[in-house]
Amino acid sequence: MSLQALTSVFNATASATAHTASNNSLPSATNDFHTLISTVLSLSALRDWLKLFVVGGLLEWCRRYFSSFRDWVMGAFWITASFDANDDSYQWVLYWISRHPVWDRARTIEVSTRDFGLESREDDDNETASKISYLPSMNNTHSLWYRGHYITVAREEKNENVWTTKEYLSLGILARNRGVLQELLEEAREAYKAAVEKVISIYAADTSGDWTFMTSRPKRPLSSIILDPGIKETLLNDARDFLSSRKWYTDRGIPFRRGYLLYGAPGSGKTSMIQSIAGELGLNVYIVTLSRVGMDDSSLNELISNMPRRCIALMEDIDAAFTTGITRDLPSDAQPRRDGDDSKEDSPGRHEDPARSDAGSRVTLSGLLNALDGIGAQEGRILFATTNNYKALDPALCRPGRMDLHLEFRLSSRHQAESLYKCFYLPDFGADESDDAGEGDEEGAGASEKTPLLADPKHNTVSSQTIQHAPIHDLSRREVLELAMRFAEMIPEREFSMASLQGYLMMYKNRPRQAVEDASSWVEKERAAKRERR
C-alpha cells in the first residue's frame, strides 16, 4: 500500500518536472507541488515517524529535566558524609551504628567479635556472648532511619597503594538541614565517650605511617600501683596542673608540652603507672616506636605532628634507641641493644607494636629532638619516656623542655612488698592504700580496725577506686594484715622487683598463709638463680 503510494509520488514528481520543463508554466508547477506535499503527508508511515520524533524528543526533554531536578534535590536534600578509618569520628559512628536496632532485622550483616575495645569485660561471665557485634557488611549499602530521616550506610575498602587498603564509611542522609548530621555525630560521640569511660584507647602507627586505633585497656586504678610515697601524687598533680595551664603557657610563650622520664629497674611499675595516669586524666595513649621498620626522621616528625592535641605520647625503653656516645646524626640502629633489655618482663601494660624491629629504623637523635620540640610538635601533648638505663641517655634528650620531670622507680621496698601482699588478699585494698597516701610510709595499726568500705554505701565513690575481689580465703582482715607484715619482713629491701614479687604471689593466689611460709625459701632460690645468671 505505501509502496504504491510512493510510486505514485515519484510518477507525479516526474510528470511535474517534465511538465515544467516542457511548458514552463508557474501556476501548474505550484499545483503539482501542493499535490506532492499532500501526497507525502497522506503517507501513514511518515506520520508515525513524525509522532515518534515528537514523543521521543519530549521524553528526552523530560529525562534531562528530571535528572537535573534529581541533582537539585540531591544537592538540597541529600547529605553525604564520609569517614576515614584513621579518624576518631569513624570509631564513634561505627560504634553508634553497631548499637542501632536496625541490625536486629538486617539480612546482610558483618558479624564481628570486635568490640571497639569499649566494654570492660572484667565482670563478664559469658564473654563469648558479649563479644558479638553487628556491623554493616563491606561493599553493601544499608539503610536505617534516624529521627525521621532516611539514612544509607556504606562501608568500603579502597586501595591506598599497592600494599595497603583503607576502610571508609559513608553516610547518606535525606535531610534539608545539615543539623541532623551534627546531631548524629554528637550522639555517636557521646555514646562512644560513655563507653570508653572505663577504658583507655591505645594507638600506634600503621604501615603507611598514620595513627591507627590498636586496642584498649581497662583503666587501671591508681591504687593498684604501689610505689614509694609521693611518686604517684607528684606525677598526677603535675600532669593535672599542666593540662589546666594552657593559658599560662601561651601568655609566656612557652610551648604547651610536658615530658616525663620514668626510669629505674625493670618490672618496677613504669608502664603500669603510665596506663593508670592515662585513665585518671582521660587521655588516649599514642605509642611511638622509634625502632619500627621504615621509621626515619621525617616520618617520626610527621607522626608526632599528627598526634591529637591532648594525648599521651609513649616512648618505651628510649635507651634502647639512643645512648650516650651516639653521634647526633647516626642512625639509631647503628647502636647495639643493651644487655639489660633482653630481660624485659611481660606486662599487661606493655603494648608492643607488631611492626617493631630493630633492623629497619633510620631515626637519628637529632631527628628525635627536632620531632619532640620542633615547629610541628603538637601542643598539649604529654610525653612519657621510660628507660632502664638512665645514665645512658643523652643529656640533650633529658633536658627540661623535653623531659621536665624525672622520676625514679626502684626495686621493691618492704613497704611495697607489704602493700602488694594486702593488694592480693584484702578485698578492699584500694581504700587502705589511699589512706597510706595521706599518711606516708606509716601503716597505722588502726587500719586493721576499719570497717571495710565496700560495706558502706556512703563510700561508693572511694570503693570504685579500690580493687574489689571476693575473698578467696577464710582469713580475717586482722590476720591478713599480720601476715602482710611477716611477708614484708622476709623480703629483702630493694632486691626484687615488684613484678617478680607479683609473680611469686600469683602462685599462691588462694594460699596467703603458705605464701608467707615459703617466702624465705623463694628469696634464697631467686638469689641463687641470679648468681647463676651472672
Ligand X SMILES: Nc1ncnc2c1ncn2[C@@H]1O[C@H](COP(=O)(O)OP(=O)(O)OP(=O)(O)O)[C@@H](O)[C@H]1O
Q: Residue numbers of the site for ligand X (CB under 6 A)?
A: 225-227, 266-272, 344-345, 347-350, 386, 388, 409, 498-499, 502
Q: Which is nearer to ligand X, 347 or 465 (CB)?
A: 347
Determine the Cα–Cα distance for residues 232 and 437; give it in Å rounded to an integer.
9
Q: Which is nearer to ligand X, 361 or 386 (CB)?
A: 386
Could you please report the per-residue DSSP string of 422-487? HHHH-TBHHHHHHHHHHHTT---GGGGGSPPGGG-GGGHHHHTTS-B----S---HHHHHHHHHHH
Locate 343 and state its grid cell: 630481660
Q: What is the smallest separation between the CB atom of 386 and ligand X, expressed in angstroms?
A: 6
> Whose grid coordinates read 576515614?
84
Q: Which is nearer to ligand X, 227 or 377 (CB)?
A: 227
> Whose grid coordinates read 600532669?
239
Determine the Cα–Cα distance for residues 342 and 365; give it in Å rounded to an integer.
22
Q: What is the smallest separation between the CB atom of 278 and ligand X, expressed in angstroms?
A: 13
Q: Which is nearer to ligand X, 226 or 312 (CB)?
A: 226
Q: Which is nearer to ligand X, 81 or 437 (CB)?
A: 437
Q: What is the smallest separation between the CB atom of 265 and ligand X, expressed in angstroms?
A: 7
Could you please report the per-residue DSSP string of 199-231? EEEEEEE-TTS-EEEEEEEEPPPGGG---STTH
Q: What is the smallest separation between the CB atom of 306 and ligand X, expressed in angstroms?
A: 26
Q: Which is nearer to ligand X, 275 or 361 (CB)?
A: 275
Where do the H-state alpha helices sit in 306-376?
365-373
Nearest CA among 229, 244, 254 for reference residue 404:
254
What is the Cα 290 distance to its own chain's centre?
19
Q: Which is nearer to ligand X, 92 or 384 (CB)?
A: 384
Q: Which is nearer to ligand X, 206 or 317 (CB)?
A: 317
Q: What is the smallest separation between the CB atom of 317 and ligand X, expressed in angstroms?
A: 7
- The strand pair at 405-409 and 258-264 is best described as parallel
Count of other CB atoms within 10 angstroms of residue 132:
11
Determine the Cα–Cα distance for residues 321 and 359; give it in Å rounded to an integer.
11
Determine the Cα–Cα distance for residues 4 and 532; give it in Å rounded to an integer.
119
Determine the Cα–Cα distance for residues 385 and 409; give it in Å rounded to an integer.
13
Q: Which is nearer to ligand X, 201 or 502 (CB)?
A: 502
Q: What is the smallest separation between the CB atom of 441 and ligand X, expressed in angstroms?
A: 15
Could you please report the per-residue DSSP string of 358-384? SSS-B--HHHHHHHHHSTTSPTTEEEE
Q: What is the smallest separation between the CB atom of 275 and ligand X, expressed in angstroms?
A: 8
Q: What is the smallest separation between the CB atom of 352 and ligand X, expressed in angstroms?
A: 11
Q: Which is nearer to ligand X, 171 or 519 (CB)?
A: 519
Helix (H) or strand (E) holding 264: strand 258-264
Q: What is the smallest separation between the CB atom of 85 and ligand X, expressed in angstroms?
A: 30
Q: What is the smallest separation between the CB atom of 263 and ligand X, expressed in angstroms?
A: 9
* All residues at 6 or more sequence positions from 191 whose CB lies less than 8 Å from its CB, including other chains: 92, 95, 96, 99
b/e for 218-241, b at 16 or more Cβ within 10 A? bbbbbbbbbbbeebbeebbebbee
